[in-house]
Amino acid sequence: MSALALDIGTYTIKAISAKPGKKIEIERMVEIFNPLGVAIASDEALSQKLIDIIDPLITDNKLPRTDVRLSLPETVVSTKLIELPVLSDAELASAIGWQAEQHIPIPPDQLSLQYQVLYRPAKDKQNEEKMRVLLVGTHKDIVEKYTNVFLSLGIEPKLLETQMLSVLRALDMTAEEPPTLVVQMGASSTQMAMVYQGELRFITSQMTGGQSLTQVLEKQINLNKQQAEEYKRTYGLDPQQFQGKVRETLLPVISIFINEIKKAMTFFVNQNPGVSAQRILLSGGPTLLPGLVQHITQELGAEVLVAAPFSQALGAVPEGNHPTWTVCVGLLMREEV
């Protein structure tokens, strides 16, 4: 049966209908601008506006309504990786609430918590090694607001997971791959996740993204929003275009971004002395900025890859813009919901 994955971004809303599973079979893909500029409605009026956008999106495109999967933007989620002495599943279940209180900055009565054991040392190593557990906390209010939009359309979402988990599933990295910093960029925020030995090591989140690039062009080259967007996509970091002016204007913002990458890499190396981190995997719309991959490669001397979420997909795979669709593909690749 077909499923619908929805990625409500602050710039565009993306939808894929497909047969879900490890090899998804794509039926339909739709991307529309999000005129609200927010992913989560903070009040009733905004909620209604979001409903008025999503209703026709689903109806006009005849998208499935029974297996609907949603991702939560990392900006409203608190994700923490913690280390604990080895506990059984039952012991962990009773200890987890207290652990969450220590690590997740959401009051217990407001907290909706999910957790996952990422690493449990083998029997003979349990004295020297700890287990690693991923905590994902959200405000109950926020989850409710998010799902209410769908409930009022007669849709009960089957899955609501944090965006980074969808992204990591779509990238399908193996334990043999070198340490990789996955950078999921959006219009208004960027998330980074370090993956080593096939296991998530940490997640960070910043409130900058593609929009900051458009804004700096608007202000400094005196363009309107639409022109700035166009210049960004056409000229990007190319020094030959427009006398290198667009590049020059974008570089200060890009270097803030590169610094964040450096910080994340250094943090990982400090945590894992002797392991070198040399690989970055970019995903999300801003990945398409002309010259970005080359620039980061040069600046960091690292290997920079671009997400290819459709590498296993069948059916109506689109021709371009693949890194934009990572979240939707990951939602669809989940086998059990």
Ligand X SMILES: Nc1ncnc2c1ncn2[C@@H]1O[C@H](COP(=O)(O)OP(=O)(O)OP(=O)(O)O)[C@@H](O)[C@H]1O
Query: Is the CB of 15 or the CB of 133 nearer to Mg ion?
Result: 15
**Dihedral pair phi/psi, residue 274, rounded to 5°:** 90, -15
Q: Binding residues for ligand X, how many (CB under 6 A)?
A: 23
Instruction: Give min distance, CB of 292 to ligand X, in A.
Output: 8
Contact segment (CB under 6 A) with ligand X among 9-17, 41-49, 97-105, 140-148 equals 9-17
Examine residue 309 and tell whether it contacts ligand X (CB under 6 A). no
63-82: contacts with ligand X (CB under 6 A)? 73
Select the span of 9-17, 145-153, 256-264, 303-311 touching Mg ion (CB under 5 A). Answer: 9-17
Which of 284, 208, 294 lies closest to 252 in space, CA to CA?
Answer: 208
Query: How is residue 302 annotated by DSSP?
Result: -
Which token pair is 179?
Answer: 């340490």
Q: Which residues pair with 133 in a beta bridge?
A: 82, 117
Q: Is 89 exposed, middle or buried (0-12, 13-18, 19+ CB in 10 A)?
A: exposed
Quote the distance between the C-alpha of residue 117 and its chain's center: 20
Q: How far is the CB of 308 from ligand X (least distance, A)?
A: 15
The dihedral formed by the CA atoms of 119, 201, 137 and 105, expressed in degrees to the nearest 10:
120
- Residue (79 or 211) nearer to ligand X, CB: 211
3-state secondary structure of 137: strand
Contact between 250 and ligand X by CB under 6 A: the answer reads no
**For Mg ion, which residue of 186, 210, 309, 330 counts as binding (CB under 5 A)?**
186
Q: Determine how many CB atoms are found less than 10 A away from the CB of residue 184.
A: 29
What CA–CA distances, in Å, run from 30 to 18, 82, 84, 306, 316? 12, 38, 43, 22, 12
330 is a contact residue toward Mg ion (CB under 5 A)? no
Site membership for ligand X, residue 289 (CB under 6 A):
yes
Does the footprint of ligand X cover residue 264 (CB under 6 A)?
Answer: no
Which of 100, 229, 329, 331 contacts ligand X by CB under 6 A?
Answer: 229
Closest CA to 330 of 158, 149, 162: 162
Beta carbon of residue 232, minimum distance to ligand X (angstroms, whole number): 5
Q: Which is nearer to Mg ion, 100 or 203 (CB)?
A: 203
**Distance of alpha carbon 195 from alpha carbon 119, whole angstroms:** 13
Could you list the beta-strand ranges (E) of 275-337. 279-283, 303-306, 314-315
Instruction: Out of 232, 247, 322, 334, name the contact with ligand X by CB under 6 A.
Output: 232
By rule CB under 6 A, what string of x and - marks binding of each residue 15-54 to ligand X? ------------------------x---------------
Cβ 38 to Mg ion, closest distance in Å? 12
187 makes contact with ligand X (CB under 6 A): yes
Nearer CB in complex with ligand X: 73/137 = 73
Contacts of 168 (CB under 8 A, 6+ apart): 182, 193, 195, 200, 330
Contacting Mg ion (CB under 5 A), which of 5, 9, 80, 100? Answer: 9
Q: Which stretch binds ligand X (CB under 6 A): 49-57, 94-102, 186-194, 310-318?
A: 186-194
Measured CA angle at 285 (ends 249, 55), to 5 deg: 130
User: Which residues form the interface with ligand X (CB under 6 A)?
Assistant: 9-12, 39, 73, 186-189, 209-211, 214, 229, 232-233, 284-286, 288-289, 324
Chain residues binding Mg ion by CB under 5 A are: 9, 186
